[in-house]
Structure 1
Amino acid sequence: MTEALGAVHFKQALPAVLELAPGAAHRSRLSAVETVRARIILAIEHGLLQPGNKLPALEEIAQGLEVSIITARRGLESLVTDGYLLRKRGRGGGTFVADPPPSAKDTAVAAFRADNAAINSLIDQRSLMESAIVHAAALNATPADCELLEKFIADSAAAPGWIEHAKPDMAFHRHIAKISGLPETDTYLAVYTALHNYFVPYPQEQLEHGRDEHRQIVAALKKHDPVAAVAVARKHIDALRHEMFIAL
């Protein structure tokens, strides 16, 4: 009886565990608008978004950052007000990175930087979970599954930038989780999403190496080779330690 009650208590506490155990102590205190600000400012500060670069359409920004259109709009408007972005009207108009952007300190950016340990913890968790996910997926994948995964890779490659690339990239990982059939996939996806919320926009040319690794994973799935699939997945995730803003 005590054991059963303990299991029920754990399930009830799971959302809190997912929020607190990985870290996210600082970012979790930010509003959705502040997280939009931080991710775009970090991309500007690290030269991933250059002065004069045009941002994608509002709807695409919302999809890529996994926020509502209203939240994305408010985040961009605040960045325009603070001088990080500027709006141009008429033909060729849109939202652009200011030239030069300001160097003012932003509390939302400081919160992201303070979560360095949390980010590395999330990478560890994702690596362990995704190893199990791709191992099972390699045993279960059908030709139709592999064809769909290749479509997601092609959609990512055809995207004009990181924002548009993010949706098919996330779909790739979520479908592999689905293929695995493992009952823990919801927990894996929660960790995956928590880590994704720290990503900042990257130039499209810097994403091709990751797509090559996705292609290698699909090749391993086609051969039903779980050992090869896990090796590529671990390499793919470990690269985040050198590519995310914490390492730039």
Structure 2
Amino acid sequence: MEARPVSRKSMSDEIASQIKEMIDHGRLQPGDRLPAERKLAEQFGVSRTTLREGIKVLSEAGLLTSRQGAGTFVSRPDDGAREGSLIEAILAGDYDLQDVFEVRKMLEPEIAALAARNGSPDAKTRLEAILMEQEQAIRSGEVVGGIDHRFHQALAEASGNPVLREMVSALYEGFSRSRAEDVQSSQRQRASLAAHRAIVEAVRNGHAMRAERAMREHLDEVERIIFDNQRGAYSRR
């Protein structure tokens, strides 16, 4: 495939747009493997981190499929069907936030423990980078819901379990309801940052039980803050 260097403005979006254009015009066919990450980043003239963000946009849209140890491929029709079936089966309903948190509390503490056991140095560095980005965003007064999702997705990737990684990705539509802007209070953002620090420290040092406990406490605290805020809003009506 041939890629044009991208401008500094919205680089990841432009990467996604160029790759989608290649797919739409048949220059990339279903089942085709994208060039190696390093080579593709050089062609676009961007960092590998920026390239990953662009690829992630298309992966979430179902146009690309990443296979651990094999690379990133243009999705086949049956790839989308499998993912769609999972999402439709689990997320077609209008689920209550309480239901979302029950699922999160079943999955994410174990994901954190596995990340501490199995996380590679690169995976741990990625978590630390996202944590720094979250700190900077909070200092700037930005809403960090998207960063929060990337943190939890990076934990799933660090777990080394591709099934968990795909489950977190597929379930994000439901999880995102517990990270929506209307529940992103300043109190929650500060609590989330402190909890993420504790989780990253445990994962970095390979302490699985501490990582699991930190994640469980994090989810319990976030759940309490959200529902306390909702009760306060209702009482003011």
**Short-chain TM bin:** 0.5 to 0.7
Q: How far off its partner does 1:247 sit?
A: 4.1
Which letter maps to 2:230? I
Residue equivalent to 1:135? 113
Instruction: Please show how residues 180-199 of structure 1 align to structure 2 within 5 Å.
Output: 180-182=159-161, 183-198=163-178, 199=180
Residues 18, 158 of structure 1: alpha-carbon distance in 2 compared, 3 angstrom cutoff: same
The offset of 1:178, in angstroms, is 0.7
Aligned with 1:24 (options 94, 97, 104) = 94
Residues 59-78 of structure 1 mapped to structure 2, 5 A cutoff: none
In the alignment of these two chains, the number of paired residues is: 145
**Long gaps (5+) in structure 1:** 1-9, 26-117
Q: Following the alignment from structure 1 to structure 2, what is the Cα–Cα distance between the partners of residues 185 and 194?
A: 15
Shift, 1:158, TM fit: 1.1
Equivalences for 1:138-157 in 2 at 5 Å? 138-157=116-135
1:46-61 aligned within 5 A = none
What does 1:219-234 align with in structure 2 at a 5 Å threshold?
A: 219-234=201-216
Give CA-to-partner distance per residue, 1:185-221, whole Å, 9 cap, x none.
2222333431323423435464122111111111111
**Is the 1:217–1:229 Cα contact (8 Å) retained in structure 2?**
yes
Change (3 A) 1:210 1:11: closer
Quick one: which amino acid aligns to residue 146 of structure 1? K
Which residue of structure 2 lines up, in the alignment, with residue 76 of structure 1?
A: none
Give 1:66-215 correspondences, 5 Å limit.
Answer: 118-159=96-137, 160-163=140-143, 165-182=144-161, 183-198=163-178, 199-201=180-182, 202-204=184-186, 206-215=188-197
The residue number in structure 2 matching 1:246 is 230
**Over aligned residues, Cα RMSD in angstroms?**
2.6
TM-score (norm: length of structure 2) = 0.54
> TM-score, normalising length from structure 1?
0.51
Q: Secondary structure at the match of 1:125?
A: helix
1:14 CA displacement = 2.4
Q: Judge conservation of contact 1:127–1:234 (CA < 8 Å) in 2.
A: yes
User: Contact between 1:221 and 1:229, CA under 8 Å: does it hold in 2?
Assistant: yes
CA distance in 1, matches of 2:187, 2:100: 25
- For residues 10-52 of structure 1, what are the alpha-carbon distances to aligned partners after superposition, in whole Å with 9 as ceiling and x for unaligned? 98742222114xx525xxxxxxxxxxxxxxxxxxxxxxxxxxx
Shift of 1:176: 0.8
